Amino acid sequence: MVDSVHRELILALAKEVLPGNDHQPAAIDVDISGEPLDRVLSSRPDLEGRLLDILERFAADESLTAAGFVATLDAQELRVLMTVFCGAYFLVREVRRAIAYTGQQALTLDRGGFGGEELAIKQMNLPKRYRKPPERVG
């Protein structure tokens, strides 16, 4: 189970992993270690054990900075960490607003045409380009 110590470790790492930029907020400012993390782990309970292993290793090695620690992760561990952190971060409404992401929405199909009709007609008028195979004998 993720406890308050783990949540603090997540915030310490989040400073390095998702520091924010001029319009995307920092992960610590939207506190990904709270409700967003819980949402990720309820969608993906399979990630929890591996996340805890990573956090416990981070806690055990005081000589490493957060950035130094992230650099020690192998590809699979980094994938787990990034999936949890980014998964939580991009679920936050404020972050979605900042990146102008409206979610995967149901839209009404435009019935006006498919786009590029004139260009398709040009293609249609070109000579056939496929290779004709030989007639099969027998």
**Taking Cα atoms as reference points, which of 49, 129, 123 lies closest to residue 84?**
49
Q: Which is nearer to another protein, 4 or 103 (CB)?
A: 103
Which span (2-10, 48-56, 57-65, 113-121) binds another protein, by CB under 8 A?
113-121
The one-letter amino acid code at 44 reads R
Convert residues 67-106 into a mask of x (bound to another protein by CB under 8 A) and - (unbound): x--x----x--xx--xx--xx--xx----x--xxxxxxxx
Angle at which helices 35-43 and 75-89 cross, to 10°: 120
The reply on whether position 128 binds another protein by CB under 8 A is yes
Where on the chain is the footprint of another protein (CB under 8 A)?
A: 16-21, 24, 39-40, 43-44, 46-47, 67, 70, 75, 78-79, 82-83, 86-87, 90-91, 96, 99-110, 114-116, 119-120, 122-124, 126-134, 136
